[in-house]
A and B are shown apart, each in its own frame.
Chain A
Amino acid sequence: MLARHALLSLSLFALMCAPNALQAQAGDDFLDSYFGQGAIATDTEPTDTGVVALLWEADSYTPPGYEGRSLPSAGSKVSLWAIPHLGGGIAPEQLVYTWKLNGATLATQSGRGKSSVTINAPELFGAYTVSVEVASSDRAVRGSALVRIESVEPVARLYAEHPLFGLQFWNAIGSNAFVSEREMTFVALPFFASITTPDDALLRYTWRVDRRSIAPNPARPSSVTVSAEEGGAVATLDVVISHMTNFLMESRGAWQITLGAGAGAGVFDPFRTSTL
């Protein structure tokens, strides 16, 4: 824990002192043209002949079937793609792309036809700006765009694992939840962590039930099974998810779950609500 706080402090200090830090951007044109995370700002130089769309995504973890965008977190990668609409009838692969990170040119990733780049995500709580200028070799047509990308802290969500329906990803367990079953398996998913699977060998799950640590399931450390005596019981469940090499990653959650709350509570189960 101390090491994590020390690293956080160092990261924040480094952000404040870095020559290309956010503060250095204050007053720059990007703030004037900034409308929201990922906003595109077209350069206002009169030589612009068109606009450039700048698309991006991160490779952080989201479960299969997740409808939303993966967001960058410390340790993950960000991919960007410039789609020019410059006119002149020049194919995109014939245009020259100049990529800049916080104003510094990414020389090896710039050049003719290099319409996409992949870079490390900002550090924890950090942000950076990426800009691209797209031009023909004679610069007769050109355009540019800029995007600001922020890192987020991974979010731990808890879901019930039903024996028939599988992971009930449509219904995250709330901080105070009622479950009709007296025994239930729960799975913690670290949204936006820099992993590919929640049971990544580099992740460490520290589960506690009613403030007592319990050993994780070695085959599936992201899950825990909680059971109650006849008549139901309230269990306080909390988890801390940390990364063995990425010390800046930590995600935690706590839930108070009433098990055996009776039919109709919490998770639907047709084989328990039956009148037969």
Chain B
Amino acid sequence: MTGIYRIALYVATALIVVIIGGLLGWYYFVQESIDSTNTESAARGLGAAPSFGGSAGSGFQNAASSLASEGSVVAPGEVRAAPRLWRVVQNPVAGFSFASSSPRVLFVEISSGNILEADPLTSTVMRRTNTLLPKVFDATFSSEGSVALRFVEAGVLRTYTGSVLIATSTAQASSTPGRLSGTYLTGEVLQVAAGAKNALLMLVRESVGASLVQSAWQGSGQKKLATFPLQEWHLLVAENGTVVVAQKASDGVTGAAYAVSQNGALSPLVENEPGLVVMPKNGAVVLYSSGNTLFVKTSTGTSPLPIFTTAEKCVWAHGTTLIAYCAVPRVSLGASALQDRYQGVRHSSDSWYRVDIAAGTAEEFFVPEIGALIDVEKPTIDLGNRYLAFTNAADKSLWLLRIAP
């Protein structure tokens, strides 16, 4: 018995020694691998403070860092008032709008669908949302900070409407990005515009033609305002809330534009004009272009204006005085200018004019530096009539121009 016990003891001791030896060997093997991995990770920068990034995100910072030498660009992190002409971002932008009570601009990146905010008073750019909706081709903001994003997903045109928080103080502006909360709209939405009182206006494709629908921004409470046997319209909303539908333009092809009443009745603004593009001030006053000749139509008649541009390059100043700001191509692009521009074939290089409708005069007030090719599109003006925001149609970059020197 003693012999058996002694043998068992030896075996158990040997097993324990073998197990402990194995564990020690495994520990040293694993530890060596961990050390090696840690060394490699440290060499790759893991654990160290990132060398890039910031409130606007690394993509924005990365692009801006390579452009800091140019006069119209402010280096990331630099806090000073923006130059008179400020390239806010070179990354392509899907849409933008001035915040309601300040010259700050909200804009949407095409690549991510994220909403960012730029302040020309401090030259800062903050990322407001981090909800990923890639490859957004169009973004529309409401006056109350809601947004409609349009993109193509698996070959299907989709529209997402959501609400974002507009920062009202510096403390909020420096907070971390939030989520975009919203919903996908049903139906094929061809056009979107921001109506009065945070209403959403949509042009929805029908089996024949299209319908003009008004709803809450999230798509609820839909009301059909009008139906059209045609589908190719632009939706515009004048400063006083007048809804305007205008046929899409093409060089030499006649077009028409109508004000739409709440009961769906159409009142003609302009009809039978080749290459028609309109920019309404209200239901009675409208800037329009036929080709590159600009006209103003008021209740007293129609007059040509002394500059050559298309009405989509103009924006009405807020208020009752009839003042417009227009970007004017420095060189005429010829008979196919509209189509070439829409297809991205050719772009203009524009100067800025202040147009006094009552006096019938146009005064050049800003000329970009020689070599700066800025083809102005979607010009917008802040409520104080101090800043113009626009994108460059040639690369979709976002720009801000202070009107006063």
Listed in ascending order, the chain A residues whose CB lies under 8 Å from chain B are 35-40, 53, 55-57, 64-71, 79, 81, 83, 85, 115-116, 118, 147, 155, 157, 159, 164-166, 168-172, 174, 191, 197, 199, 268, 270-271, 273-276
| Pairwise interchain contact B343-A172, C-beta atoms closer than 8 A | yes
Report whether B268 and A53 are in contact in the complex, using a CB–CB cutoff of 8 Å. Answer: yes
Known contacts A57-B232, A164-B110, A268-B90; 13 further A-B pairs (Cβ under 8 A)? A36-B252, A38-B255, A53-B256, A53-B271, A68-B339, A69-B255, A157-B343, A164-B135, A165-B110, A170-B92, A170-B396, A270-B90, A273-B66
Contacting residues, chain A, for B228 (C-beta < 8 A): 81
Can you give 13 A-B contacts (C-beta < 8 A)? A35-B274, A39-B254, A40-B254, A67-B249, A68-B339, A69-B248, A79-B209, A81-B230, A118-B208, A164-B111, A169-B344, A273-B66, A276-B51
Which residues of chain B come closer than 8 Å to A197, judged between CB atoms?
Answer: 155
- With CB as the reference atom, state the residue of chain B lying closest to A171: B344
Determine how close the nearest CB of chain A comes to the CB of B73; give it in whole angstroms: 13
Known A69-B249, A81-B230, A116-B229; contact A275-B66, beta-carbon cutoff 8 A:
yes
Q: Are A85 and B268 within 8 A (Cβ)?
A: yes
Indicate the member of A39, A64, A168 with the most B CB atoms within 10 Å: A64
The residue in chain A whose Cβ has the minimal distance to the Cβ of B254 is A38
B231 contacts across to A, CB distance below 8 A: 57
Let me know if B157 and A69 touch, CB within 8 A. no
Would B62 and A39 count as touching, CB distance under 8 A?
no
Query: Does B52 sit within 8 A of A, measured CB to CB?
Result: yes
Q: CA A170 – CA B394 in complex, angstroms? A: 6
Docked Cα-Cα span, A191 to B250, in Å, equals 13
Minimal Cβ-Cβ distance residue in B for A83:
B266
Q: How far is the CB of A223 from chain B (nearest CB, A)?
A: 13
CB closest residue in chain A, given B291: A36
Residue of A nearest to B63 (CB): A270
Judge whether B342 and A55 touch: CB under 8 Å. no
Are the CB atoms of B272 and A53 closer together than 8 Å?
yes
Contact with A along B391-405 (1 / 0, CB 8 A): 001111000000000
- Report Cα–Cα, A155/B342, bound state, in Å: 13
Q: Are A68 and B65 in contact (CB under 8 A)?
A: no
Out of B230, B234, B248, B252, name the residue touching A79 (CB < 8 Å).
B230
Kindly report which residue of chain B lies nearest to residue A65, judged by CB atoms: B137
Residues A165 and B59 in contact in the complex (CB < 8 Å), given A55-B256, A68-B339: no
- A157-B345, A276-B51 known; A71 vs B254 contact (CB < 8 Å): no
> Is B253 part of the contact surface with A, judged by Cβ < 8 Å?
yes
Q: Could you tell me the distance between the alpha carbons of A116 and B208 in the complex, rounded to whole angstroms?
A: 10
Known: A83-B266, A166-B110, A276-B51. A65 touches B91 (CB 8 A): no
- Determine the chain A residues whose CB is within 8 A of the CB of B134 once the complex forms: 164, 166
Cα A35 to Cα B249 with chains together (Å): 17
Is the C-beta of B138 less than 8 angstroms from some C-beta in chain A? yes
**Complex contact B137–A38 (CB within 8 A):** no
Cα(A68)–Cα(B231), bound, Å: 12
Smallest Cβ-Cβ distance to B258: which chain A residue: A83
Residue of A nearest to B157 (CB): A64
Instruction: Check if B247 is an interface residue, CB within 8 A of chain A.
Output: yes
Q: Is the CB–CB distance between B393 and A170 below 8 Å?
A: yes
Give chain A residues whose Cβ lies under 8 Å from the Cβ of B254. 36-40, 147
| Cα distance A116–B256 in the bound complex, in angstroms | 16
Cα–Cα, bound, A115→B229 (Å): 9
Q: Which 5 pairs of residues, A with B, have the shortest CB-CB distance?
A: A270-B63, A166-B135, A38-B254, A116-B229, A69-B250
Look across to chain B and name the residue whose beta carbon is closest to the beta carbon of A220.
Answer: B155
Is A171 in contact with B394, judged by CB distance below 8 angstroms? yes
Alpha-carbon distance between A83 and B345 when the two chains are bound, in angstroms:
34
Q: A64-B157, A171-B394 are in contact. Are A70 and B52 (CB under 8 A)?
A: no
Contact of B395 (CB < 8 Å), options: A147, A170, A271, A275: A170
Picked from B230, B252, B344, B345, the residue with its CB within 8 Å of the CB of A55 is: B230
